[in-house]
Chain A
Amino acid sequence: MRFSGLKILKEGLTGNRGWTPHWRDPDPKAEYDIIVIGGGGHGLSTAYYLARDHGLTNIAVLEKGYIGGGNVGRNTTIVRANYFLPGNSEFYSHSLKLWEGLEEDLNYNVMHSQRGLINLFHSDGQRDAFARRGNAMINQGDDAILLDRDGVRAHLPYLDFENARFPIYGGLYHPRGGTARHDAVAWGYARAADRRGVDLIQNCEVTGIDIENGKVTGVRTTRGAIRARKVGIVVAGRSGQVAAMAGMRLPIESHVLQAFVTEGLKPVIDHVVSFGMGHFYISQSDKGGLVFGGDLDFYASYAARGNLPMVEHVMEAGMTLMPMIGKAKVLRSWGGIMDMTPDGSPIIDKTDVAGLYLNCGWCYGGFKAVPGSGNCFAHLMATDRCHGAATGFRLDRFRTGRGLMDEEGTGSQHNLH
């Protein structure tokens, strides 16, 4: 089933009774060429690009819960290419370009909205840092505009410009940044992968990885053993546990990140805005809810919920920046489990086990990476060579100390990102 304007019109007029399921619900086969563990955004996009770009279709995605139940359906949906360091910069640039053609490619409306992202700064030092970041973005071929105070006011008249403690000096404007509907991204990739013959197997938890003579031979699951020539681990916050099934310890600590959404309001916040003097960022969903969040709770956690101190901090920071939101009622808050690396940058690499590949460490920023990560990981799994946009994401950079990508410049240590 393909979507078209005509089909939508017809269904709309006939009670929407003609839609069929978007993907099959197959039982696992005994053997696949490639198994992707994890049906989040990255696992689904990996399977899709393996099929689209490398002609491989004997593939299964094994998901322990349901498609879209992990972080891919829990994030605050920001899509941007404003990274600073070589290694990250070209990767996110590549990913944003894939976003820009994604809806046509998948024949699915993921509601990608390039509404513009503005990162505010509040001191001379911050202005210098953002000017430098903006130059790096422009050098990479992406877009960045340094706004002064009046420039920010023209876009965001509702901010508290009188705040004496945290004066607004300006902002770095990234017009191609924006948001997308997160579930739709999962569903769109799932449907597109399924249509190319990929088996999406839900309620199928991987419980073991079989290795013989240093080579992967398959996995054990709650739905039986499945053989495979190649296996990719793409399980975000659960990376440590699944890698342990192959005897690996990873440079990953799992942390909880919270997010919040208010009742639906009329359009009021047109961009994605982040505060530079506290952890707070916000956008408004197309349904009208204000979607916002802050920083990690900052302790290792597998609870998909956080604690109150970070809730309080996020609310305080929001009220400091834009007091107008004070009367909006928060409807829901939740948390997701983040796979944090010491330097805050991801890993797309082979492992020491032949045929076993690793994609993890996306920290709190892996939604924007969904197209790029799947594209580069599929390339690695299919060809055994690193994709040109992801050469920096090596696993051994921690052991050797070469090629660490610490965007925040705080040090390569677990509790600092």
Chain B
Amino acid sequence: MRITCPICGERDRREFYYQGAAIALARPAPDAGEAAWDAYVHLRDNPAGVTRDLWQHESGCSAWIVVTRDTVTHEVLDSALAADIGMEAGA
């Protein structure tokens, strides 16, 4: 699997750290309550098919990247800088 960093271009998967579902960008307010935090930290849609997840180009430019990917074929469909996408996008 090769992942395209919007800054560095297409690179080996080993250069990237996998954080998990892009929901990580949609952090609830500190007082949002137990259910919201449980959903954010633990519960996952876990789709078989297209998903969006958060990776860091750890051994490259260090950028955080939202990768759109197919979990069944491992095809990488799109990638964008997390900084450009903003908080709501993870939801």
A253-B21, A309-B13 in contact; A342/B72 too (CB < 8 A)?
Answer: no
In the complex, chain B residues whose CB is within 8 Å of the CB of A129: none
With the chains together, A250 CA to B42 CA distance in Å? 8
With the chains together, A63 CA to B58 CA distance in Å? 42
Q: Is the CB of A399 within 8 A of B1?
A: no
In the complex, chain B residues whose CB is within 8 Å of the CB of A302: 48-49, 71-72
Q: Is the CB of B71 within 8 A of A300?
A: yes
Within 8 A of A (CB), among B7-56: 12-14, 18-21, 34-35, 38-39, 41-49, 51, 53
In the complex, chain B residues whose CB is within 8 Å of the CB of A249: 39, 43-45
In the complex, chain A residues whose CB is within 8 Å of the CB of B35: 399
Q: Does B59 contact A (CB under 8 A)?
A: no
With the chains together, A253 CA to B41 CA distance in Å? 12
Residue of B nearest to A414 (CB): B20
Query: What is the minimal beta-carbon distance from B34 to any residue of chain A, in angstroms?
Result: 6
Q: Is the CB of A303 within 8 A of B73?
A: yes
Q: Does A413 contact B (CB under 8 A)?
A: yes
With the chains together, A414 CA to B1 CA distance in Å? 21
With the chains together, A249 CA to B42 CA distance in Å? 9
Query: What is the minimal beta-carbon distance from A266 to any residue of chain B, in angstroms?
Result: 36
Q: Is the CB of A399 within 8 A of B51?
A: no
The answer, among B12, B18, B45, B46, for a CB contact under 8 Å with A299, is B18
Within 8 A of B (CB), among A141-169: none
Q: Is the CB of A300 within 8 A of B53?
A: yes
Q: Is the CB of A254 within 8 A of B46?
A: yes
With the chains together, A342 CA to B24 CA distance in Å? 14
In the complex, chain B residues whose CB is within 8 Å of the CB of A252: 44, 46
Query: What is the minimal beta-carbon distance from B37 to any residue of chain A, in angstroms?
Result: 9
With the chains together, A235 CA to B51 CA distance in Å? 21
Q: Does A221 contact B (CB under 8 A)?
A: no
Q: Is the CB of A399 within 8 A of B38?
A: yes
Within 8 A of B (CB), among A209-252: 238, 240-241, 249-252
Q: Does A301 contact B (CB under 8 A)?
A: yes
Query: What is the minimal beta-carbon distance from B69 to any residue of chain A, in angstroms?
Result: 8
Q: Is the CB of B74 within 8 A of A300?
A: no
Residue of A nearest to B43 (CB): A249
Q: Is the CB of A251 within 8 A of B44?
A: yes
With the chains together, A299 CA to B41 CA distance in Å? 16
Which A residues fall within an 8 A CB radius of B? 238, 240-241, 249-254, 298-303, 307, 309, 342, 398-400, 412-415
